[in-house]
Amino acid sequence: MGAQLPAWIDVVDASQLPGLPGFAPHLLRDLDAVTAGLTLHWSSGSIEGAVNRIRKIKRQLYGRAGFALLRTMILLSPHSGPVPVAGPANPIEAGQ
């Protein structure tokens, strides 16, 4: 699919469809990265999910607690897989 991208950009430039002729040339700025994103089989979805989970917890605690409670909430919140954490084995004892 990534190998077909330059041909698709040429077709879009010639089509004069609204919005696409302005979008397609921006893909050429970093063609290698866009092609890799279309062809490689790995994803950063699990990392994005972890970041969103942490942001949600941070928003919930905004203005109510310090870093120690935020860290405890993040470590104790349910998640889909193991997250390696450097620090004490029991995060509750660390806050005391």
Q: Are residues 62 and 87 in the same domain?
A: yes
Q: Are residues 30 and 49 in the same domain?
A: no
Q: Are residues 30 and 50 in the same domain?
A: no
| pTM for the predicted model, two decimal places | 0.41
**For the chain, what is the domain count?**
2
Q: What is the number of residues in the chain?
A: 96
Judge residue 7's burial from the number of C-beta atoms within 10 Å of its C-beta, 0-12 exposed, 13-18 middle, 19 or more buried. Answer: exposed
Q: Are residues 51 and 88 in the same domain?
A: yes
Q: Are residues 65 and 34 in the same domain?
A: no
Q: What is the pLDDT of residue 22?
A: 79
Q: Are residues 6 and 35 in the same domain?
A: yes
- Residues 54 and 35: their CA atoms lie apart, in Å, by 30
Reported as a single tens digit per residue, the pLDDT across 23-79 is: 877 888 888 888 888 888 777 777 888 888 888 888 887 777 778 887 887 888 776
Q: Confidence class of residue 90 from pLDDT cuts 50, 70 and 90?
A: very low
CB 57 within 8 A of CB 73: yes
Q: What is the pLDDT of residue 96?
A: 47
Would you tell me how many other CB atoms lie within 10 Å of the CB of residue 54?
16
Q: For residue 91, is pLDDT > 70?
A: no
- Residues 16 and 35: their CA atoms lie apart, in Å, by 23
Q: Are residues 35 and 52 in the same domain?
A: no
Side-chain-facing half-sphere of 93: CA atoms under 13 Å: 4
Q: What is the pLDDT of residue 81?
A: 54
Q: Are residues 53 and 82 in the same domain?
A: yes
Q: Are residues 49 and 89 in the same domain?
A: yes
Q: For residue 9, is pLDDT > 80?
A: yes
Q: Are residues 54 and 35 in the same domain?
A: no
Domain that residue 88 falls in = 45-94
Q: What is the pLDDT of residue 78?
A: 75
